[in-house]
Amino acid sequence: MRITWLVALLIALAVSSIEAVVVDGQWVRPVTTFSIVARDPETGQLGVAVQSHWFSVGSVVPWVKAGVGAVATQSLTDVTYGPLGLELMQAGKTAEQALKGLIETDPHPEWRQVGMIDAKGNRAAHTGKQCIREAGHVIGEDFVVMANLMEKNTVWQAMADAYKNSAGDLAERMLAALDAAQKEGGDIRGRQSAAMIVVRGQSTGVDYKDRIIDLRIEDHPTPLVELRRLVTLNRAYLLMNEGDEKMVQRDTKGALQAYGRAMELAPDVTEIKYWVALTMFSEGMQSDALRLFHDVFEKEPLWVEVTRRLPAAGLLLNDAGQVSRILEVAPQGTQGN
């Protein structure tokens, strides 16, 4: 009778040491995957990016804290390597010291694959001798790449080469590493989910404010394609935030430049175009704003009703018939009452 690799693995684990696969009375299944932990030496940003043939890999593998470090924990995953690794690095341990301490207290390090980097750029990695082949890692300058259960044993080196030879910010370079892994064959079982987290170099003291990118593709036929799309969209919304901040500072020129770049990155997103138009209209740039409003209303007429509701919320003055002026550019049949 044919036995699948997973059943064979579980049988082997049960025979050798049941503690290796039982946690709180439940089987722990292997999260086989490829990932990268990295630090941008110029900005200090820290990040983790990962793809796997496993549902919601982003809820298990990546762990990052601004000003502290980044961890990817995979293979027969002990998730505690993530929060405990960050805790040790925050307490002053280097990435090497943190990983060494966790491995020494792990009853089954042979099943683990872990990569760490701290805020100073120290790196460490571990690929247990019983990780499912093909498995390995590369420790590079300001990054670690890892992979297990790959189609080829060249995947992790391809990731390292792509990261070293790519340009752009931290997110772009990590995407290049993931794309290279997939091009080299990737996970032998295929692909399902992906995730990326990027945090600031210095913490604000508030975790959610430290996160520049926090994206998870839970289940998708081409998760890396979707991850890249969302990274681009994330950039557009970050530029919108930058524009809003410049408006508060009364830097209208800087704000419009940020808004313009946001629209270039996400030309089909009416949400972005609408709020840019509203800002321009409120600042007296009505001709340009009305052209944008027309494009939005033509594509998604429901924004007409949104516009009517803004004065009551204090987001649009209605003196001198401003709402009527905006709605005049809506296509016939969408203006309503």
pLDDT digits (tens, 9 = 90+) for 157-176: 999 999 999 999 999 999 99
What does residue 209 show for φ and ψ, rounded to 5 degrees? Answer: -75, -25
Q: What is the pTM of this model?
A: 0.88
- Provide the 10 A C-beta neighbour count for residue 189: 13
**Mind listing the domains of the chain with CATH numbers?**
1-28 (no CATH), 31-221 (3.60.20.10), 237-327 (1.25.40.10)
CA dist., res. 97 & res. 70, Å (int): 14
Q: Which range (216-225, 279-288, 290-299) has the least confidence?
A: 279-288
Contact 144, 116 (CB under 8 A): yes
SS3 167: coil
* pLDDT on residue 336: 55
- Per the prediction, the chain carries an average pLDDT of 90
pLDDT above 70 (res 67): yes
How confident is residue 15, by pLDDT bands cut at 50, 70 and 90? very low
* pLDDT on residue 316: 84
- What token pair was written down for 100? 């060494």
How confident is residue 320, by pLDDT bands cut at 50, 70 and 90? low
CA dist., res. 197 & res. 231, Å (int): 10
How confident is residue 334, by pLDDT bands cut at 50, 70 and 90? low
- In this structure, are strands 193-199 and 136-140 parallel, antiparallel, or unpaired? unpaired
Contact 129, 110 (CB under 8 A): yes
CA dist., res. 242 & res. 274, Å (int): 16
CA angle 193, 47, 167 (to 5 degrees): 95
- CA atoms 168, 169, 170, 175: torsion sign: negative
* pLDDT on residue 138: 98
SS3 318: coil
* pLDDT on residue 77: 87
- Provide the 10 A C-beta neighbour count for residue 278: 20
Q: What is the pLDDT of residues 28-60, one digit of tens each?
A: 566 678 999 999 999 999 999 999 999 999 999
* pLDDT on residue 200: 97
* pLDDT on residue 317: 79
Q: Which residue has the tokens 């500072």?
A: 249
* pLDDT on residue 13: 38
CA angle 191, 197, 200 (to 5 degrees): 160
Question: What percentage of the chain has pLDDT greater than the value 90?
Answer: 82
pLDDT above 70 (res 11): no
CA dist., res. 198 & res. 180, Å (int): 20
How confident is residue 315, by pLDDT bands cut at 50, 70 and 90? confident
How confident is residue 76, by pLDDT bands cut at 50, 70 and 90? confident
Region 93-99: mean pLDDT is 98
pLDDT above 90 (res 105): yes
235 residue type, one letter? R
How confident is residue 9, by pLDDT bands cut at 50, 70 and 90? very low
Question: Which carries the bigger pLDDT value, residue 27 or residue 97?
Answer: 97
CA dist., res. 286 & res. 309, Å (int): 19
Q: Which range (4-13, 45-54, 160-169, 209-218) has the least confidence?
A: 4-13
